[in-house]
Structure 1
Amino acid sequence: MARPWKRLETVLALIALAVGAVIAFVFGLHVYVTSTAETLHPDARRIPSTAAAAPASEWVSAAQRAQAAVRARIVSQNLPGVSVAVGTGRHVVWAEGFGWADLETRAVVSPDTRFRIGTASIPLTSAAAGLLIDRGSLTLDAPIQVYVPEYPKTTSPVTLRQVMGHVAGLRTDSGDEGPLFGQHCERPADALAHIGDPSPRVAPGSAYRYSRYGFILVSAAIETAAAQPFLRFMRDRVFEPLGMESTRPDPGDEHGAGQAVSYFPRYSADPRYGVDSMRSLDYSCYAGSSVFVSTPTDLVRFGLAINDGTLLKPETVTLLQTPLRLADGKDTGYGLGWDVETYTLGGAPVQVVGHDGDLLGGIVSTLLVWRERGLVVAVVSNTSYADTPAIARDVAEAFVR
């Protein structure tokens, strides 16, 4: 009969062998993936690009600095394609597409190429809510059930303001495994049946808890208050008045005409190891949280209109872009559909508002608005896990210099 210590010795040896096998497999997989990863753009100088038009003389040097910065980031991140636009005052002053919209056909990104913008859809939806606030059709501190009666009542009331500020305690999806991708919704409220239990995970107003599901509720509230389908209201009251001709709902197939193919990192959520075509997705249920495709030029037009009062009253813009405070008095750093932060630009601290757009858990787009400087920058890529915030900041630095 084997002694206990001998049995333990055998078990430990087997565990060590198993652990070693797993480590060897993971290491081998890493070596294989990194050794076979395709470098999409080996030479920054040879990345194809298409500009909307030559920038005005006062912006030529800035555009040249920005071009160099964008090309360097495309190479270092191994991104298929990137599109960028910059606006100041009331005008788009530079827009250019870089790289491939479709790796298979080698179609080049142009300023008119549409991209999925993911959760950068949220400030667009926030602005639509602002229009209804302006005319008194939406009340921020009303319970969300006033506008979305399908939303079940909870022990702690949840208001529209809390939902828009991500302090309602709502649950969210699980990134690339969200339950809504396999569903189709004609109305935002149709998604509620697929979300599951929407009861607050924490007491409303007690913690900042980002939720993609929240702006599905906001979209449903907009539809009720506007007495009009949500997507039609967005088109009629936001996109068409601002000349955002390329902004529309995601067509839901791999890519519509004039739209970049979407990609996803092949390994370790990092495009440097190569990318594969993103699986077919239906974003209809995400509504104003993630449903839109757009161009940086359209996003810049939107940011400029927010800045100059074309779309909303200045006091409404301030309302939407003022960070909420939690029950304990802490600042959330987030308004009603807008990130709010301060960082150094041109050697000086300055406040910036905007939003990153994530798609299947990874960033694909960035919109940044410097109200004090009258500067707007938008960057989009056609792969998840692109560091578009870094590209946007590089471009902004090029233009403030």
Structure 2
Amino acid sequence: MTRNYLLVLLLLISSLACKTNRPLTDPNYQTAIAQARKLVQDTRRDSHFPGIAVAVSVKGKLVWSEGFGFADIAEQEQIDPDRHLFRIGSISKPLTATGLALLYQQGKIDLDAPIQTYVPSFPEKEYPISLRQLGGHLAGIRHYNGTEFLSDKKYETVLEGLDIFQDDPLLHEPGSKYAYSSYGWNLISAAMETAAGEDFLSYMEEKVFDPLDLEHTFAEHMDQTYEDRVSFYELKNDQLELSPYVDNSYKWAGGGFISTAEDMIRFGNAHMHPGFLNEETWLTFTRSQTDNNGKMTNYGIGWRSGEDNKDREWFGHSGGSVGGTSFLAIYPEQEIVVVTLVNLSSARLNNLPFRIANQFLTQ
């Protein structure tokens, strides 16, 4: 009886320990971690972050994971990078792009077919629009107008979300110039539903989140309770205030997912090289597209790409949402992934993810 009691007590203590924000650090990277930690602490102080989760992997291994500050200021709840859910904003685009890439790889979708092939209800425009153009922000679909970014309306389906912009004219001839648009990804998710034969969120869970072990990655539903979701803040006159209520169901595919820093590390490592996707698909989605004049856009299909200040190639994505600022950076040659998640609108990162990466790249 005593042994059973002690066993239960030890298991309880162990489970409580797993709920702490104790940092994960690899002794082989002590110097890099110490320098990166100072960068994070200084940036958090100077930019007034309520909290930030940081995670870094090298050659597929998580070598640093740490939370700074608070998931909830009033409750003084410390950030845990393995547990706390942040709004990841436009990092949702690479997630959705992965689902699209699988359909492309399976021959279920043609990236260059007119969008009405998959979404017949979408009004025809002066020029045809393709999924490739939509995914690379070359289609001429507009971005947010006015207060749309603060929408608090619940949309039950992907098709409902198209009502926001589908009757508006194109900004320009598709392919002629780059113009960032999260709404283009609404249209992509509607096409994915047709190609997959199921609703977008179910498909993403079954084909992307579950296979990649993204156990803490979800479409945010405001009518659901998430025990570990952070509180969301904005900065006004150097004072932190709770962000206004929003419902991101109008843009799940392009900016409506929530996740943890460590889940995003797992996602980044799955795209470090061909593997989850075959090489042709991986290159099609990660390398830069060009406009009609041959100008590089530094954007593939759902993925940004470029070089840091040391001319090292990277790809990934930033994210901005109400109460959230995020960044995912992948260095394929050096096999390093860096993730930063902040529970603050328009947080001033000041190139923090690249400065963190530099500590590990130069060790």
Q: TM exceeds 0.5?
A: yes
2-side partners of 1:363 and 1:312: how far apart? Answer: 29
Contact 1:144 1:160 in 2 (8 A): yes
Partner of 1:122: 93
1:332 partnered with 2:294: no
Gaps of 5+ in 2: 1-19
Partner of 2:332: 371
What is the Cα-based RMSD across aligned positions, in Å?
A: 1.9
Equivalent position amino acid for 1:161 in 2: R
Partner of 1:3: none
Q: TM-score, normalised by structure 1?
A: 0.81
Q: Percent identity among equivalent residues?
A: 33
Contact 1:353 1:369 in 2 (8 A): yes
| Pick aligned residue for 2:272 from 287, 307, 312 | 307
1:289 partnered with 2:289: no
Distance 1:254 1:384, change over 3 A: farther
Contact 1:172 1:210 in 2 (8 A): yes
1:248 partnered with 2:209: no
Name segments (4+ residues, structure 1) moved above 4 Å.
none
2-side partners of 1:203 and 1:297: how far apart? Answer: 40
1:99 partnered with 2:69: yes
Tell which deviates more after alignment, 94-103 or 304-313. 304-313
Equivalent residue of 1:257, what SS? coil
1:88 partnered with 2:49: no
Partner of 2:136: 165
Distance 1:189 1:117, change over 3 A: same
2-side partners of 1:75 and 1:200: how far apart? Answer: 42
| Pick aligned residue for 2:183 from 213, 216, 222 | 213
1:391 partnered with 2:352: yes
Across the two proteins, how many residue pairs are aligned to each other? 342
Partner of 1:9: none
1:61 partnered with 2:61: no
Equivalent position amino acid for 2:258 in 1: V
Gaps of 5+ in 1: 1-48, 268-272
Contact 1:255 1:261 in 2 (8 A): no
Equivalent residue of 2:119, what SS? coil
Equivalent position amino acid for 1:128 in 2: G
| Pick aligned residue for 1:178 from 148, 152, 173 | 148
2-side partners of 1:245 and 1:218: how far apart? Answer: 24
Equivalent residue of 1:379, what SS? strand
1:298 partnered with 2:268: no
Q: TM-score, normalised by structure 2?
A: 0.90
Partner of 2:318: 356
Equivalent residue of 2:308, what SS? strand
1:3-18, aligned counterparts within 5 Å?
A: none
Distance 1:353 1:254, change over 3 A: same
2-side partners of 1:108 and 1:174: how far apart? Answer: 36
